[in-house]
Homo-oligomer: A and B are copies of this chain.
């Protein structure tokens, strides 16, 4: 096991009606004037935004609001949020929504107290300082509610890039599974896929002898395999929603990923798809993961056989472990398809002739020099082959 530091100080308030504690929690973590940041109309229509505002009012915390976050959140709205926070002396950013809203809120929180262009953070600069951030989560997916990460798409060139720093870890996150019950099945499935991708990215490691984190990742994958179909069948199943929601947080606060090298090639390869086609990140991952895994399987057949056996229930073929390994990748593909996820690049709006462009941005964009690296180092030819496997 590698040496590591682990720090996850977010206060989680989980369960029914917990959004009613928003005001109390903002106050506990020092907020007096809040920017409520959100996306589209669903948090308005459902009455959630009004409940949050009433909770802030009840404890005497003042607020302003900024809506309009889109999936694959954009730099333009971040700049507007930063300007607003500075002008209005905001001292707390409260995200009400899913991963896109939270990521946008984190970018605003960091950018407000930074002298330069906030995009510096998304070009490699570490985030050391930010306004405090809180979240009221409405989608179990990105894990941003418990992570120090944020992903933003720069409208100038449609570059989708990440930034990181403990300063943008939410001070608190409110997780009410009932808030996810109104999500359409497609978005629910995208969330499930994203959570599973966060687990697979950590599972694919070159560090030996990491049984405890292997087992924890498998535990969360098994949860998704069990609870995913239950929630697709019955969107109002609170218990299934609750299990998925906690798994989603645990999958990405890194308690299961410590002390081991990780992959993240699937995320990198997918990011170009959602940046170019504006498809849902989860849907992109559903197409990307099986292709990547099939391409890199030979790098460590036993690792793929292990997940096939322990998570997917494939019989281990001791004479031909690659048979088991392949069966596990196929089981993942079938599972994702069964919950409504796409199988091909075409279903995402992608075209074969875009592949050179996708590969070029992926391998040479933003400071990269011809390769991406993780579980396996991949060059432009590898990436092109992987994109072609998705056709």
Contact = CB atoms under 8 A, between A and B. Distances in A.
A6 B15 CA distance: 11
A250 interface: yes
Given A212-B246, A239-B209, A258 B14 contact: yes
Contacts of A4: 14-15
A48 interface: no
A222 interface: yes
Interface residues of A, number: 44
Nearest to A21: B5
A380 interface: no
A12 B18 contact: no
A240 B4 CA distance: 16
B208 A219 contact: no
Interface in A1-33: 1-16, 18
A154 interface: no
A54 B219 CA distance: 42
A329 interface: no
A51 interface: no
B8 A13 contact: no
Interface in A21-73: none
A90 interface: no
A186 to B, nearest CB: 23
Contacts of A177: 1
Between A5, A6, A18, the greatest number of chain B beta carbons within 10 A of the residue's beta carbon is seen for: A6
Given A212-B220, A212-B223, A259 B15 contact: yes
The count of identical subunits is: 2
B215 A219 contact: yes
A209 to B, nearest CB: 4
Contact of A227 (B6, B211, B240): B211
Nearest to A310: B222
A7 B11 contact: yes
A243 interface: yes
Contact of A6 (B2, B5, B12, B210): B12
Contacts of A236: none
Given A218-B219, A220-B216, A6 B14 contact: yes
Contacts of A379: none
A208 B15 CA distance: 15
Contacts of A9: 7-9, 11
A222 B215 CA distance: 7
B14 A3 contact: yes
Contacts of A223: 211-212, 215
Contacts of A242: 1, 209, 259
A152 interface: no
Interface in A168-216: 177, 208-213, 215-216
Interface in A249-267: 250, 255, 258-259
Nearest to A15: B3
B7 A243 contact: no
25 contacts: A1-B14, A1-B242, A1-B243, A1-B246, A3-B15, A3-B16, A4-B15, A5-B13, A5-B14, A6-B12, A7-B12, A8-B8, A9-B11, A14-B258, A15-B259, A209-B240, A209-B242, A211-B223, A212-B220, A212-B244, A212-B246, A212-B250, A219-B219, A242-B259, A246-B258
Given A8-B9, A212-B220, A215-B223, 20 more contacts: A1-B15, A1-B246, A3-B18, A4-B14, A5-B13, A6-B12, A7-B9, A7-B10, A7-B11, A9-B9, A14-B259, A208-B239, A209-B243, A211-B226, A212-B219, A212-B243, A212-B250, A215-B220, A216-B250, A242-B259
